[in-house]
Structure 1
Amino acid sequence: MIEFQVDRHSGVATYLQLVNQVKQALRLGVLEPGDRLPTARAVVEATAINPNTVLKAYRELEREGLVEPRPGQGTFVTRSLSRPEAAADSPLRADLVDWVTRAHAAGLGREDVLALVEAALAEAAARPRGAARPTRAGTERPSREDTT
């Protein structure tokens, strides 16, 4: 079951925080089709937010086709966003956990790590698929796709 966390200082609307947390749980396989989301009352008790905020988040998830309300029963997950590459036992995830551990050991905090990840995502998105990656010395090396 998902436990919502609300960061009142994030600058992100509370209902979007809930939506994003459900989507993350769906991507990571924490929530799967058929799972029931917490009731609005349970979320309100755990987070001290307005019940309408929870209902707005659940309506947004329903609009996106991720959940469906069942009168008298609750709100249920209808589809998954998970991919095997993101599973808890995937090599990619293990590599990422190792990298984050090294980053923390180097003295980087959460915000530093997030900034690096966002910069890397932007850099990767700007690079044509399959293009060579520059090395630290500025020379090019083939991407993984070129070496396999």
Structure 2
Amino acid sequence: MIDYRIDRGSGVPAYVQIVEQTERALRMGFLKVGDKLPTAKEVVAATAINPNTVLRAYRDLEQAGLVELRRGLGTFVTRSLARPGAQDDSPLRREVTDWVDRARATGLERADVLAMVTAVLDAYDNEHHSRTPDDRDGRRRTHDRA
């Protein structure tokens, strides 16, 4: 089961934090198809947020096709977002864990690490989306003229 953490100082609405944390758990394989999410009452007790906030997040997740609300039974995962390499035992996960250990050892805080990773991903996406299909590997191609 997932334990939601609400950061009131982040400026991100609580329902968005719940959606993002659920999506992250689905991507990492912590939540699997058929798993039950905590009830709104359980989330409220753990986070001290309004029950309507939890219900809004769960509705957003349902509209995204990730969960199903079953009246009287709860909210259940209907789709996974897990990709190969994201599992706890994958080599990529170990590399990221080692990198985060080094980043934290240099004094970077969570927000610094997230900002750095986001900046690198943004640069990567910009570089790869701005190229033509012929030069995505970094080389300009010249076409032979016969």
**What is the TM-score when the length of structure 1 is the normalising length?**
0.85
* Unaligned 5+ runs, structure 1: 133-148
What is the match of residue 143 of structure 1? none
Distance across 2 between alignment mates of 1:106 and 1:46: 33
* Pairing partner for 2:138 from 114, 131, 134: 131
Distance across 1 between alignment mates of 2:49 and 2:81: 26
Tell me, what secondary structure is at the counterpart of 1:69? strand
Alignment of 1:44-83 (within 5 A): 44-83=44-83
Distance across 2 between alignment mates of 1:53 and 1:105: 36
Establish whether residue 16 from structure 1 lines up as the match of residue 16 from structure 2: yes
AA paired with 2:114? L
Distance across 2 between alignment mates of 1:96 and 1:130: 24
Tell me, what secondary structure is at the counterpart of 1:21? helix
Aligned residues: 132
Q: Give me the CA root mean square deviation.
A: 1.2
Runs of 4+ that moved beyond 6 A: none
Distance across 2 between alignment mates of 1:32 and 1:105: 33
* Unaligned 5+ runs, structure 2: 129-135, 140-146
AA paired with 2:52? N
AA paired with 1:110? R
What is the match of residue 85 of structure 2? 85
AA paired with 2:88? A
